[in-house]
Amino acid sequence: MKLRSFFSKYSGRIIICVVLLLLWIFFIPGQEAYYLRNTVKHFERHILQPGLLGLCMLLFLIIAVLRIINVKPLKDALVGAFASLIVLIIVAFIFERLLLSGLLFINRLITTDRDIEKQYVVKFSDDSAGVKQMLIYDPVTDEYSGDEVLIRSIRLQGNPQKGPVAVLFDKGIFGIEHPHMIDVKQ
């Protein structure tokens, strides 16, 4: 009987925890499989984190103003506002990966520009065991990439040969590019 009353009392919280756990296990890792690592890092550093920081500061200012208006001792109002800021930062930090995955998912659903062609150069090298490793050179950034998403995208176009190869990208609503043809299950 105690177990039944426990579940009836906390059923909403238990459901939220189970949903969040399932999102963390299945949804979050799956979204980054559609994007190049550098693209995700750039979006996270230059758009998501400053946006979260700005949102936290805006909410802090709103909470601070409301507390100053409603709570008479200024010291008590500011202590409450700073406590709220700390909670906001902790919540933003905890849910940053979930928010990033959600934004990447939405970006993939709503495409603004299709078939953006980027040129790469495929090279092969033999490792110590004699296995050929595919190296992808990006002439724009002058770097070699071992990004699995890019390699998968090139392999889906057929048997990759040494030399130049074009990869088609789509640009989503947030301006994040992802390869046009991709099979995540490979």
Q: For residue 173, which of 113, 117, 128, 133 has the smallest C-alpha distance?
A: 113
pLDDT number for residue 186: 44
Give the residue from 92, 107, 122 where a domain finishes.
Answer: 107
73 vs 64: CA distance, rounded Å: 13
Q: Are residues 33 and 78 in the same domain?
A: yes
Q: Which residues contact 79 (CB under 8 A, 6 or more apart)?
A: none
Residue-wise pLDDT tens digits, 19-35 = 988 888 888 888 888 89
Give the residue from 53, 74, 107 where a domain finishes.
Answer: 107
Task: Please check whether residue 25 lies inside any domain of the structure.
Answer: yes
Task: Please check whether residue 184 lies inside any domain of the structure.
Answer: no
Q: Are residues 119 and 134 in the same domain?
A: yes
Percent of the chain with pLDDT over 70: 96
Residue-wise pLDDT tens digits, 30-67 = 888 889 998 999 999 999 999 999 988 898 899 888 88
Q: Are residues 95 and 117 in the same domain?
A: no
Task: Please check whether residue 185 lies inside any domain of the structure.
Answer: no
77 vs 105: CA distance, rounded Å: 39
Q: Are residues 19 and 99 in the same domain?
A: yes
Residue-wise pLDDT tens digits, 73-104 = 888 888 888 888 898 888 888 889 889 999 99
Residue range of the domain that includes 125: 112-179
Q: Taking the model in full, what pTM does it have? A: 0.77
Task: Please check whether residue 125 lies inside any domain of the structure.
Answer: yes
Burial, 178: exposed, middle or buried (Cβ in 10 Å; 0-12, 13-18, 19+)? buried
Q: Are residues 35 and 80 in the same domain?
A: yes
Q: How many domains does the chain have?
A: 2
Mean pLDDT over 102-119 rounds to 89
Q: Are residues 117 and 153 in the same domain?
A: yes
Q: Are residues 52 and 140 in the same domain?
A: no
Q: Any idea which residue has 């130049």 for tokens?
A: 164
